[in-house]
Structure 1
Amino acid sequence: MRLITIPKWRERHFEEGSAPDEVTVRRWLRTGKLAGKKVGGTWYVDESEWLADGDELVRRVLERTG
């Protein structure tokens, strides 16, 4: 599990103007549509899980390199 903040995730994986709104991302995290967790008052996206897109082998490789 490689956790990154929502702003960092949006910046890293989306072109300017194409990123989902932060409120939307938090809703996806709360409902389980997007893997992540809340620590204190801050939501984090599980970047490894998101990049793996359900592929167990890819997820394991990403976790080892993170």
Structure 2
Amino acid sequence: MKLMTAHAWVQKYFEEASRPSEITLQRWLRADKVPGRKVGGTWYVDEHAWLPDGDELVRRVLDEAI
């Protein structure tokens, strides 16, 4: 599991014109549409858990890129 701040996750995976608002992302996190957790007052996204099952190759490439 690799946690990253919700803000950093949005910056990494969304083009500027299509980024969800902070409120929208928090709704997704609370509804478990995006896997993550709140620690203190900050939301974190499990960066690799949101990938579809079966994408093991993608998961390994992402792990190596870090």
TM band (smaller chain): 0.7 to 0.9
Structure 1 unaligned regions, length at least 5: none
> Deviations for 1:15-49, whole angstroms, at most 9, x for unmatched residues?
11211111111111111111001111110011111
Structure 2 unaligned regions, length at least 5: none
Equivalent position of 1:39 in the other structure: 39
Conserved 8 A contact 1:2-1:63: no
Count of residue pairs the alignment pairs up: 65
C-alpha change, 1:53 and 1:38, in structure 2 (3 Å) is same
Percentage of identical aligned residues: 45
CA distance in 2, matches of 1:62, 1:37: 24
TM-score, with structure 2 as normaliser: 0.77
TM-score, with structure 1 as normaliser: 0.77
